């Protein structure tokens, strides 16, 4: 198979970046508690290693959770109201539903034994407690492993305090420091001559893993005895005679502060300014947001490299487009420093300006060869987009928020974040008068992400809103038969035939205008197929494919492939239909369109059945159910909900017999979303053909 669909197993756990040291008793205790307790929270101060311990325990627990092990990182989440969205995103559930999102998440996770790891809960504690309570009530086979500086306070919660590593000459703290020191300075080795100094450093740092790792990196610039002396003198300044031992949180902050003092003034300034980012950043973003005063953009790459060497910043990937991030504790230290410098507001404004520019560029290039890149880039920048949106909504002039939320229509609609987009658009629209700049765009975007396939009234409102938008921008208005499409979904083909009209040309100016030009063709093809006019459907669908191919566009072109395949089934050409449907599915998956992927998977059922592969078609019936759950629309995966699935379930059961049919469907439904896609794409040509 020549696709780029990538499996990460049934879950999303990242690989461990370096060796894990010690914690055998804690790991054994976590394993036992996950078997007996549905909610386990690892508690302890920052830097003590809660997140790393949870990740290690989650990796070890994977065989016990065939339904998936999912990590939800919450440190970058500023708005508690988006916690459910964060869970949906981490578990790869598209938000294309008007039902309560938490209900959709519960249904999505109700797929056998599942472990959900909620990392860094303390700053969204109340919402974590509410969501966890609901998840545990609605998903019987769910276990939750949380990390937090305090308990969630949910009934049945079991707490496991995480303490620093044991210290002493033969302790885990010494082992960890030695491993990290050898990684920083390959010539370093623990010997009888150095063991006492290493143990003294570990004792001085109270065995706190983050403090040990920061100290170990300093061996690049100091011999071991100088490192110990530096720690002693630095700590002595902060210890009062009446308090001979530092509290652990003060120890960590002092260790970070000591690393801060060993940075150059420009490195400290960059550290502080980088703290405005959430979820990481690339070099271009750092150069735009962090330049100014003594910090030239041309210096930032070298300074990032220096901060990486000091383990203040972590580089996450190789190549030109590498990304960087900071641990939450280190970022918090930088944010405090930025506030002390009085630069917080100015740097946040540059951050907002940069991501407004990113949103505009994405809209301008969405219907072009960079579409897949933009889908992936905006997914990477999702946390930063949230920061920018919250900043714009808190600004005295909310017009920026209206513009930003509206400009991101393609991200909300096409990449599976409709629920979140609705929330932001509604907040922005409440804050501005109807005659504000950008109001019409935001109204249209809101209606676009609110429409559902069976809702005629919502479809009409989207069409009306686009007419307003086109008129405001002085553009010709294309015929947009969304009302007819909604009627067709509901089986009212005769009425829909009166509504599709002609495919008047919309101008190729601006992402929204081009999008609607192409959408008009897609809807027309859909209505023609619904009326059985397959030859005409194929002509319109091929025109859509050509128009999209000219632009190098994937998302809408996949609908062209979809309708070509649909026409192929109607015309008795199953092999042609299979090729087109698989191309459509690969493209939809690449641009993170879960709704589209589920719809195409259903089409593959028909293609395989018509092509004489009933067992494979039955497996795909189960695959389609799984993908509709992933899209947040499980009702579309119910064989009794839609005429299409009900009819094919009846046919395939008759062809295979009850037992074989039931087993094939069960097999398909039990796959992870990624495995389901691999099964559906079996036999697809090389990606160069897409």
Asked whether the CA dihedral 273, 274, 279, 283 is positive or negative, the reply is positive
Q: What confidence category does residue 641 fall into, taking pLDDT thresholds of 50, 70 and 90?
A: low
By the 8 A CB rule, do 215 and 255 touch?
A: yes
What local confidence, expressed as pLDDT, does residue 637 receive? 61
The overall average pLDDT reported for the chain is 80
Average of pLDDT values for 431-435?
75
Distance CA 366, CA 143 (A): 39
Q: Who wins on pLDDT, 482 or 403?
A: 403
* Predicted TM-score (pTM) of this structure: 0.79
**Topology adopted by domain 24-161:** Rossmann fold (3.40.50)
* Three-state SS annotation for 72-108: EECCCCCCHHHHHHHHHHHCCCCCCCCCCHHHHHHHH
Among the ranges given (247-256, 343-352, 619-628), the one the predictor scored with the smallest mean pLDDT: 247-256
What local confidence, expressed as pLDDT, does residue 249 receive? 56
Q: 39 forms bridges with which residues in the sheet?
A: 144, 157
Q: Is the pLDDT of residue 10 over 70?
A: yes
Average of pLDDT values for 190-218?
87
Span 371-393, pLDDT tens digits: 888 888 998 899 999 999 999 99
Average of pLDDT values for 262-283?
92
Round to the nearest angstrom and report the end-to-end CA distance of the chain: 13
Q: Crossing angle, helix 643-656 and helix 614-630, to 10 degrees?
A: 150
What local confidence, expressed as pLDDT, does residue 119 receive? 93
Q: Is the pLDDT of residue 687 over 60?
A: no
Span 142-169, pLDDT tens digits: 999 999 988 999 999 999 999 889 888 8
What local confidence, expressed as pLDDT, does residue 275 receive? 94
Average of pLDDT values for 21-45?
91
Helix, strand or coil, per DSSP, at residue 593: coil
Is the domain 246-342 a CATH 3.40.50.2300 member? Answer: no
Q: Do domains 24-161 and 246-342 have the same CATH topology?
A: no
- The encoded tokens of residue 406 equal 């509206």
What local confidence, expressed as pLDDT, does residue 60 receive? 93
What local confidence, expressed as pLDDT, does residue 169 receive? 84
Q: In the sheet that 314-315 helps form, which strands lie side by side, from edge to edge?
A: 281-282, 323-325, 314-315
* Three-state SS annotation for 443-457: HHHHHHHHCCCCCHH
Largest CA distance in the chain: 90
> What residue segments make up the domains of the chain, in order of their start?
24-161, 172-205+207-245, 246-342, 344-430, 575-690
Distance CA 520, CA 513 (A): 11
Helix, strand or coil, per DSSP, at residue 284: helix
């Amino acid at each position: 198979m020549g696709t780029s669909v990538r499996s990460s197993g049934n879950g999303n756990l990242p690989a461990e970046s370096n060796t894990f040291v010690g914690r055998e008793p804690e790991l054994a205790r976590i394993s036992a508690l996950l078997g007996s307790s549905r909610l386990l929270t690892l508690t302890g101060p920052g830097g003590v290693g809660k997140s790393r311990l949870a990740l290690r325990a989650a990796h070890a627990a994977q065989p016990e959770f065939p339904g998936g092990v999912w990590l939800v990182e919450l440190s970058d989440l500023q708005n508690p109201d988006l916690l459910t969205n964060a869970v949906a995103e981490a578990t790869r559930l598209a938000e294309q539903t008007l039902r309560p999102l938490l209900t959709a998440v519960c249904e999505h996770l109700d797929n056998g034994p599942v472990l959900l790891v909620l990392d860094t809960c303390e700053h969204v504690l109340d919402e974590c407690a509410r969501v966890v309570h609901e998840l545990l009530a609605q998903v019987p086979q769910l276990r939750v492993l949380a990390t937090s500086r305090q308990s969630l306070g949910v009934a049945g919660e079991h707490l496991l305090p995480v303490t620093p590593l044991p210290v002493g000459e033969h302790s885990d703290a010494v082992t960890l420091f030695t491993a990290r020191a050898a990684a920083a300075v390959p010539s370093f080795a623990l010997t009888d001559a150095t063991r006492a100094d290493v143990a003294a450093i570990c004792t001085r740092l109270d065995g706190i893993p983050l403090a040990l790792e920061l100290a170990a990196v300093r061996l690049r610039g100091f011999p071991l005895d100088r490192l110990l002396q530096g720690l002693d003198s630095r700590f002595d300044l902060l210890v009062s005679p009446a308090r001979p031992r530092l509290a652990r949180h003060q120890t960590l902050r002092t260790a970070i502060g000591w690393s801060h003092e060993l940075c150059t003034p420009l490195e400290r300034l960059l550290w502080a300014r980088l703290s405005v980012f959430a979820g990481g950043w690339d070099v271009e973003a750092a150069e735009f947001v962090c330049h100014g005063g003594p910090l030239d953009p041309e210096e930032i790459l070298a300074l990032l490299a220096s901060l990486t060497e000091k383990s203040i910043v972590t580089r996450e990937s190789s190549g030109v487009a590498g990304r960087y991030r900071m641990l939450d504790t280190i970022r918090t230290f930088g944010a405090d420093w930025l506030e002390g410098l009085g630069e917080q507001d100015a740097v946040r404004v540059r951050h907002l300006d940069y991501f407004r520019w990113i949103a505009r560029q994405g809209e301008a290039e969405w219907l072009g060869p960079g579409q897949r890149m933009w889908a992936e880039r905006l997914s990477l920048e999702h946390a930063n987009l949230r920061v920018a949106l919250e900043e714009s909504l808190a600004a005295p002039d909310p017009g920026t928020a209206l513009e930003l939320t509206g400009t991101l229509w393609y991200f909300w609609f096409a990449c599976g974040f409709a629920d979140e987009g609705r929330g932001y658009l509604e907040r922005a629209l409440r804050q501005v008068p109807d005659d504000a700049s950008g109001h019409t765009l935001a109204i249209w975007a809101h209606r676009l992400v609110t429409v559902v396939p069976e809702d005629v009234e919502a479809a009409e409102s989207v069409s009306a809103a686009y007419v307003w938008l086109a008129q405001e921008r002085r553009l010709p208005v294309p015929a947009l038969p969304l009302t007819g499409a909604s009627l067709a979904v509901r089986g009212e083909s005769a009425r829909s035939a009166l509504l599709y009209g002609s495919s008047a040309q919309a101008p190729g100016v601006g992402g929204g205008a081009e999008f609607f030009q192409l959408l008009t063709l897609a809807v027309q093809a859909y209505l023609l197929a619904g009326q059985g006019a397959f030859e005409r459907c194929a002509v319109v669908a091929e025109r859509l494919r050509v128009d999209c191919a000219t632009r190098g566009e994937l998302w809408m072109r996949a609908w062209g492939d979809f309708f070509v395949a649909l026409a192929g089934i109607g015309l008795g050409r199953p092999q042609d239909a299979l090729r087109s449907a698989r191309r459509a599915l690969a493209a939809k998956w690449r641009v993170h369109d879960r709704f589209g992927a589920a719809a195409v998977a259903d089409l593959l059922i028909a293609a395989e059945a018509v092509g004489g592969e009933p067992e494979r078609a039955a497996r795909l019936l189960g695959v389609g159910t799984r993908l509709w759950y992933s899209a947040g629309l499980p009702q579309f995966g119910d064989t009794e909900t839609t005429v299409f699935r009900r009819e094919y379930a009846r046919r395939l059961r008759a062809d295979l017999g009850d037992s074989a049919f039931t087993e094939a469907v069960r097999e398909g439904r039990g796959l992870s979303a990624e495995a389901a896609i691999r099964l559906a794409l079996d036999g697809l040509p090389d990606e160069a053909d897409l």
